[in-house]
Amino acid sequence: MKGHIRKRGNKYVIVVDLERDHNNERRQKWFSGYDTKKAAQKDMPRILNEINTGNFIEPSKESFAAYLEKWILNKRSRLKASTFQVYKTHLRIHIIPKLGNYKLEKLNRLHLKTFFSYLENDLGLAPATIKKVHTVISSALSEAVEDGIVGKNVAAGLKTARIERKEIHVWDEKQLLQFLNSSKHDPLYIAFHLAAMTGMRRSEVLGLRWKDVDFKNSLLRTVVTHTPYGASDGKTKASFNRTIDLDEVTITELQKRKERVDFEKERAGGGYKDNDLVVCTSLGTHVTPRNLNRKWYQLKEDANVPSIRFHDLRHTHATLMLLQGIPVKVVAERLGHSSITTTLDTYNHLLPSIQREAIAMFSKNLYTTGN
């Protein structure tokens, strides 16, 4: 099998002579689009080798948009509902509008670098969001390679904006109690109490059902989460269906909440949508993350405490426990971390002070016992 290079207009093409067909007619395959003869010469050995070894993939004429629309539909059954919705949103808002018109075979790394630069510099998207967009593109192209549609995943190994770890802001014991006491009579108080006293994520708090609360044994299980994209299982395997022990105050607050929910259910009658939710509207429907955040900002301001994110209640819970000498393993289990390494990495700024307090206590107990 031989190949040669021709010039067509201002471009160069590689022409490969294939085996003659059953009628002994000459067959050729043309590869166009080379700006220089040198570029065509450099690529010709690869093309000839792929054809000779049977690894050549016929270039796809399909647009990236058409491929992505089929890909996401086939992906649906393999993704959590929330992840599927996130993927669809990134495809609809960012990826297809900017990259969809490219032919799948023509999409290259320069196109992607330009695209990610646009997301960062023109749209001002956060590095974490850009990384998720990259994940969607790379996942789609990876399957295109597996299915023999394209020869390589041009998104693989492509670096996007670096994700800077967000600084953790937490409340001390006095500030936390000030907020909890100030917010006690709000209908959604239980959501903030649970986040502060269990370290549950917002999605876990919003997905908590009464059947997941064990009053007899003073514990709850995180089985379902609720996000802006709907309900699903836990964020990680360690998070899913983990058990969290509850203190007496939290049990009491949950009992009060149950009484309120039962009252609202009876008052609404047939208009009540019983989803068995601990955190719900007066008609039993889900409280959206956005509405919970609105309430959060209002109550923070009313309590006159430093401004932190809702997620920082989780960090506050972990930080206060660690400062009180609770073993890291216990804290990791409550948070649903896959290993204590994650916990140590997240809260390593606390370790020096914890170590100082620990050695002081150790020394005090040792010499007190000795005397």
Answer whether residue 339 shows pLDDT above 80: yes
Cα gap 3→50, rounded to integer Å? 13
Look at residue 13 and give its three-state secondary structure: strand
Record the tokens describing residue 285, joined without a space: 């429907």
Q: Which of 113-127, 179-193, 235-249, 324-338 has the lowest mean pLDDT?
A: 235-249
Q: Domain extents for the chain?
A: 2-53, 64-146, 173-355
Per-residue pLDDT band at 240 (split at 50, 70, 90) = low
So what CATH class is 64-146?
A: mainly alpha
pTM of the model: 0.64
Beta strands in the chain (DSSP E): 2-8, 11-18, 27-34, 213-214, 219-222, 225-227, 230-232, 242-245
Phi (first) and psi of residue 143, to 5 degrees: -70, -30
So what CATH class is 173-355?
A: mainly alpha
Q: What is the arithmetic mean of pLDDT over 311-326? A: 90
